[in-house]
Amino acid sequence: MKFSAVFTTIIAVASAAPFQDISSGSKLQKRAAVFATAKTYDELSISGKNAGTAKEDALQKLSGLPTDLSQVDKADLTFLGNVNKIANDAERGAYNAKIAETAPGEDALALQRAKIQNKVLKLTASVLSLQAKQAQGKNVTAKLDTETKKLNKNIATDVANAGKPATALKFNASTDNPAAANVPKDKTLAAKAADVISQSNKAAGGKNGTATQGADTKGTGKKDKKTARSDIEAVEVVEVADKVAGGVEEEE
């Protein structure tokens, strides 16, 4: 399998030093769980401040796994799964809810940047867990490919917004009891939040000159073919940006 740059980086950065030989012979022993202490969502959150470093921030929060992923403790797999769960619940119960009630504009986009940071945390936990399961002989290739593509997309979105402010939200959840914070999927709410971001992106595009493309440059009352085509392309660019920044998908 050909791994992406992000995929291989996660293995390298999130891993601690190799195992020490603690037996009387040469057999290496499985280490104790790395994530032995429960964490609240707010302790784990990487959202806030400025966009652009979500990948590094997520890897730092989830660092310490052994280099040999086949030796990852079962308790750590559970922890990573719970991180994914509470971050997903925060996406639904905090970010989608807040964005949906926010007027289109920069405030909504700042919330969306924090939501993207949260997605990077959520998906990093998922990819790390799946990498370990694969190393332990589980057939998770399809799921791992899917989650890695999602992770790469959200990292790219975060990097594209580097330096722009992100508004973090608090969420009451913990890895020791993720079910307590369960938030059911609400497609209507997610779609409303996505629509707010879509409107916000279109408004931002207009301010940057997108709305003026395809203008009547000759004073004839008609757009020439070249500028008309530019107008169509501008709309297509905005639509793609909407899908990247405000998509309803990726909840799990």
Separation between Cα atoms, residue 134 and residue 141, nearest integer Å = 7
Q: What is the pLDDT along the chain (252 residues), one digit of tens a residue?
A: 444 555 455 555 555 433 333 333 334 455 689 999 999 999 999 999 999 999 999 999 999 999 999 999 999 999 999 999 999 999 999 999 999 999 999 999 999 999 999 999 999 999 999 999 999 999 999 999 999 999 999 999 999 999 999 999 999 999 999 999 999 999 999 999 999 999 999 999 844 333 334 444 444 555 454 444 433 333 333 444 444 444 444 555
pTM of the model: 0.76
8 Å CB contact between 151 and 57: no
> What gap in Å lies between CA 18 and CA 98, rounded to an integer?
43
pLDDT of residue 26: 37
CB contact at 8 A, 155 and 55: yes
Residue of 154, 6, 138, 21 whose CA lies nearest to 74: 138
With b for 16 or more beta-carbon neighbours within 10 A and e for fewer, the 166-199 pattern comes to bbbbebebbbeebeebebeebeebbebbbbbbbb
Q: What's the DSSP call for residue 38?
A: -
Q: Where are the domains of the chain?
A: 5-13+32-187
